[in-house]
Structure 1
Amino acid sequence: MVAHSLDRLPVAVIGTGPVGLAAAAHLAERGLPFVVVEVGDAPAAAVRAWSHIQIFSPWEYNIDPAARRLLEAAGWEEPDPSALPTGGDLVKQYLQPLAELPDLAPHIRYGAEVTAISRLGIDRLRTADREKTPFVLRLSGGEELFARAVIDASGTWRQPNPVGANGLPAHGETEAAAWISHALPDVLGNDRSRHAGRHTVVVGAGHSAANTLLALAELADSEPGTTITWAIRAADPSASFGGGSDDELPARGALGSGLKMLVSTGRVTLAANFRTHTIRRLGDDPTRHQVELVSRGHDGSEQTIVADRIVAATGFRPNLDITRELRLELDPIMSAPRALAPLIDPNQHSCGTVTPHGYRELAHPEPGYFTVGMKSYGRAPTFLMLTGYEQVRSVVAALAGDMEAAQSVELKLPETGVCSATAGAEAIAQRLGLSKEQNEQLLRATAKHLGTSSSAADAVLKAATELGIDHTAALQLAAYAAERFDAPGASGC
C-alpha cells in the first residue's frame, strides 16, 4: 500500500477513559480522522467500576484543555475547579458529555475489544516499508480495523496484579478467587454485606489500599465485629503515609494521614513483612468467607492471617499480549517505554515529581504506535491524569506534523509544600462529608477535651461524640490537621 493512501486512514485510539477521550479531543481539534474503540458499552468503563471513590485531585487537574474547549463551545458548564469529584462525578459531569459531543460520538465504537495489533500483511520480522504499512487492529468478533497510527490508552484496570508477593499468583490463589476482591471494592455500598461484621485483610501499600482501609474503618463504626488487617511486604509502613500535610493535593495527603491514624490507634492491625506465599480455603462455603494467608520468609519462617475476605490492592500491569507482533522497546523492570521508565520509577518518583514528557519518550521502534495514560507507566503506580493529557497533546501534535508543539512539553504537577492550610483543611472536610464549620468545631471541642483525656485520639473521639461526627472521619481529619497546624490529633494516637 502506498504512503498517500495510508494518510487517509484514521488514527486508532484504544480506550474511552480520561486519556483516551482527551486524545480524541485533540485529534478532533487538529482535524485528523480517528476512530475510538472501547471494550465497554459506555464511556470510561474502568472509571465506572470505581465510581464510589473520591479522587484526590480537584477538578482543575482532571480536565484536558482540548476537551474543555470542545465542551465549552457546546455550552458545557465546568464544575467548581476546587471541588473533589468521585469517579461517578468524573463520568457524569465530564467524560459522558465529552463522549456525546458531535465531534467525538460518531467516531466511537463500543463493545469493541482489541485482541491483537499488527501490520497489514507483514509480521514483526519484516522491516521493508514497515512505516508505510497500515496497522491492523483485530477485534474479538474477528473484524479488523486499519489505521495509520495507534494511540493505546487501554489502561491496566482489567489486568490486576495477583496477591502473591513475588508477582506470581500465590499457591491456592486461583482456587480462592471467590474470597478475593481486586482494587477498590465498594465496602460502604454494593459490597457492604461481604465485609460488615467480618474480618478483611487488605494486601498492598498504595492509594487503593489506603482508600479501602479508611472505608473499612468507617464501616466498623456502624457494624460491630468488623475487623481489619493491613498486610504489607515492607517492614515499615511509613512510605505508604506519603506527604501528609505537606502534600500539594490535600486529599492525597489525607489518605496517608488517615492511614497513619488507623494504624497508630489500633483500628487497623498491621502485618508488616508479610509476603503472601499461599492462600488456603478453610471450608468450601464462599458465603462464610474463611481463608488463611500464609507468608513465608527467606529463612523459612511463616506468618498466617485468617480472614473472611481478601482485598488485593496490589496494583495492575499492562496487557502486552495484544502487541506481540509490534516492535516495542520496554523497560525490563516496569514494562514502560524504555525512555520513559527512569522518569517514573516509583523507587525515585511520586506522581508529582515526574518530569514532563511527550511523544519522544512514548515512542517505540514501531513507527506510529504510542502507549499513553496508565498503560504507558507499565507497572509504576505513579500516574496522574494531568500527565496523560500532556502525553496525548504531544503525540497528536506529532501525528499532525506540528513538531514544534510536539516537542514543547510543559507540565506543572502538584507535589508538596505550596497548598494553603485553609484550602487543605476545607478540601479534607469536603472529602469526609464535613462542613467547614464542623471542622472548626471539631478542633475547638478536641482542644477542650485534651486536659481530661488519656490521649489526643481519646480527645478527638469525645469531641466527635459530642458533635455527632463520625469517629473515623473525625480521627482522619484531626490526624491531617495535627501535622499542618500542630493541632491535636496525630500526636499521642
Structure 2
Amino acid sequence: MAVESPAQIVIVGAGPIGIEAALYARFLGYKVTILDSGDVGAYLRKWSHVRMFTPFRANCTKLGKSALAAQYPDLSFPLPDQHVTYGQYLEQYLLPLAESDLVADCVKRNHTVLSIARDSQTKSENFGQPQRSETPLVTLAKDQQGHEHVFESDIVLDCSGVGGQPNFIGGGGSPAVGELTARSHFECGLIDAQGKDAKQYANQQTLVIGAGYCAAFNICQLSSLARETLETHVTWITREAKATRQNGPVPVIEDDPLPQRKRIASEANQLVVDENGHLDHWPETTVKAIHFEPQTGHFHVTLEGKHSGVHTFDRVVASVGYRPNHEMTHELQLDLCPNTEAIKSLVQPEPNFYILGSKSYGRDSKYLHSDGLDQIRRVFSIIGDRENLDLYAEPPSKSNQA
C-alpha cells in the first residue's frame, strides 16, 4: 500500500538489512526509528572470524558506498571481489554506515521489541479490508533499564533476523530433555576454534550436532585445532548417514556459485572419510537428553539411534540452524509457510508490515544478503507506488545513452 513521505517507519533490527533499509528510507524522505535489542551488527561481531561466502560487491550497495564516500572521503572499501570476514565487513562498511548522518540519529540500541500490533484493532478484525490500515501500527519495546516505550508508525519493517533464535537439538526439533537448563552452558552456531575459542576446545572432548554449513565450518575448525593439540577429539552426530551422492553428511552443490561454501562442505565430508583419529562421525543419531554437571563442567548426553547410550563430553556445539521468532508479531495478520515459517509473499495481509532479510526465509538456510537488498528495493517501490524506483541501480553508461 502506497505511503507518501514523510511518513514514520519503524525498523526492527540494526543488522545489515535494517541499516540499509533505514538509509534507503531516509534518502526518500521518510522518518525512521531503528530498534535493536543489542548493538549494530551484533551477530556479525559474534562471527567476526568467519569469511563471507559472497564477495564484498554482493554485500554492499551503491547508495551505501555513496553515503560513506560523501562523509568519510578517506575511507577505503574492500575490493569488489574480495571475500571479507564478517568482522571486516562490520568495521569497514556497516558500522560507518550506521554512524553516518542519515542513519546515526535513528538507531535506538538496547531496545527489545515486545510486540507489534494495530493501535485499536485486534488480530481478528478487518482481515483483508481497507480499514485495517486506518489505524497506525504500534511497537512496544523495553530499554536496558526495563522501561517500556511505544513507537507509533505508518510502516514497520521487521529486519530482526534469526541469529538470536537457534533451533533446538532434540531429534524432532523440540528441546531435548534438560536442554533448556543446559543451553546457557553450550555454544550454538559458529565457534572460533582457531582464534579466541582455541583454549576452550583444545584437548577437550567435543560433541558437534548438525549437518549444515555451520556444522561443516565448526568441524573444519576443530579438526585443524586437533592437529595442533593432540588430545582434542570431536564426535560429530548427524540425523542422516550421508547427503545424497556425497561421501559425508553435508550437501555439496556441484555447480555452487559460492566456491567458499562448496570448499567448506567438501572439506568437512573428506574429514569423515580420512578417519584421522581425532574425529568420529556418528550418523543416524540424535539427542534425547542432555545434563550439564556444574561440579565437573561435563555434559552427560543421552543419544538415540545408531549410537544410542549415555556419553560424556567436555564441550557441546549445536549447529542445527535457526528459526524466526514471531512472538512479537502474534497480533498481526501474517501469511507464513507452514514448513519453514518463511513469508509466502513480500506483501503480507497486514497492511504496511513487511518482513525482510533472513527472517523472511524462516528456517530455510538458502538466504543470501543480496536477497535482502533486493527486498529493500522492492518494498520501497511498493511503499512509494513507483514500480521503477531503484536507488541501487547503476547509472547508464554514456555508450548506452548515445
- What is the TM-score of this pair, normalised by structure 2? 0.87
- Deviation (angstroms), 1:241: 4.1
Match of residue 435 from structure 1: none
Report if aligned partners of 2:11, 2:32 keep a CA contact under 8 Å in 1: yes
Distance 1:179 1:32, change over 3 A: closer
Report if aligned partners of 1:291, 1:308 keep a CA contact under 8 Å in 2: no
Q: Does 1:59 align with 2:36?
A: no
1:253 aligned partner, one-letter code: K
Match of residue 102 from structure 1: 101
Match of residue 291 from structure 1: 300
2:12 aligned partner, one-letter code: I
Q: Distance in 1 between matches of 2:87 and 2:235?
A: 28
Secondary structure at 1:275's aligned position in 2?
strand
Match of residue 395 from structure 1: 379
- Deviation (angstroms), 1:296: 4.0
Secondary structure at 1:252's aligned position in 2?
helix
Match of residue 275 from structure 1: 286
- Deviation (angstroms), 1:134: 0.8
2:141 aligned partner, one-letter code: L
Unmatched runs of 5 consecutive residues or more in structure 1? 339-360, 410-493
- Deviation (angstroms), 1:403: 2.6
2:66 aligned partner, one-letter code: R
Match of residue 415 from structure 1: none
Match of residue 40 from structure 2: 43
Distance 1:118 1:7, change over 3 A: farther
- Deviation (angstroms), 1:44: 0.7
- Deviation (angstroms), 1:46: 1.6
**Please, which of 162, 169, 174 is the counterpart of residue 175 of structure 2?**
169
Match of residue 186 from structure 1: 192
> Could you say which structure has the larger radius of gyration?
1
- Deviation (angstroms), 1:402: 1.1
Q: Deviations for 1:15-54, whole angstroms, at most 9, x for unmatched residues?
A: 11111111112112222222211221x3111211111211
Report if aligned partners of 1:295, 1:304 keep a CA contact under 8 Å in 2: no
- Deviation (angstroms), 1:286: 4.8
Distance 1:235 1:397, change over 3 A: same
- Deviation (angstroms), 1:332: 0.9
Secondary structure at 1:31's aligned position in 2?
coil
Q: Distance in 1 between matches of 2:62 and 2:170?
A: 40
Report if aligned partners of 1:151, 1:369 keep a CA contact under 8 Å in 2: yes
Q: Distance in 2 between matches of 1:126 and 1:403?
A: 30
Match of residue 347 from structure 1: none
Match of residue 242 from structure 1: 252
2:60 aligned partner, one-letter code: I
Which residues of 2 match residues 471-486 of structure 1 at below 5 A? none
Q: Distance in 1 between matches of 2:133 and 2:281?
A: 53
Q: Does 1:229 align with 2:235?
A: yes
Secondary structure at 1:294's aligned position in 2?
strand
Distance 1:296 1:59, change over 3 A: same
Unmatched runs of 5 consecutive residues or more in structure 2? 394-402
Question: Relative contact order (C-alpha < 8 Å, sep 6+): which is higher?
Answer: 2
Report if aligned partners of 1:39, 1:113 keep a CA contact under 8 Å in 2: yes
Report if aligned partners of 1:178, 1:286 keep a CA contact under 8 Å in 2: no
Q: Distance in 2 between matches of 1:120 and 1:370?
A: 17
- Deviation (angstroms), 1:284: 4.1
1:291 aligned partner, one-letter code: H
Match of residue 377 from structure 1: 361
Secondary structure at 1:264's aligned position in 2?
helix
Q: Deviations for 1:156-205, whole angstroms, at most 9, x for unmatched residues?
A: 11111111121101112223335421001222333223211011111111
- What is the TM-score of this pair, normalised by structure 1? 0.72
Q: Distance in 1 between matches of 2:104 and 2:342?
A: 30
Q: Deviations for 1:365-401, whole angstroms, at most 9, x for unmatched residues?
A: 0000110101001111111001110011110221122
Q: Does 1:302 align with 2:308?
A: yes
Which residues of 2 match residues 356-367 of structure 1 at below 5 A? 361-367=345-351
Match of residue 266 from structure 2: 257
Match of residue 22 from structure 1: 20
Q: Which has the higher strand share?
A: 2
Q: Deviations for 1:318-352, whole angstroms, at most 9, x for unmatched residues?
A: 111100110011111111112xxxxxxxxxxxxxx
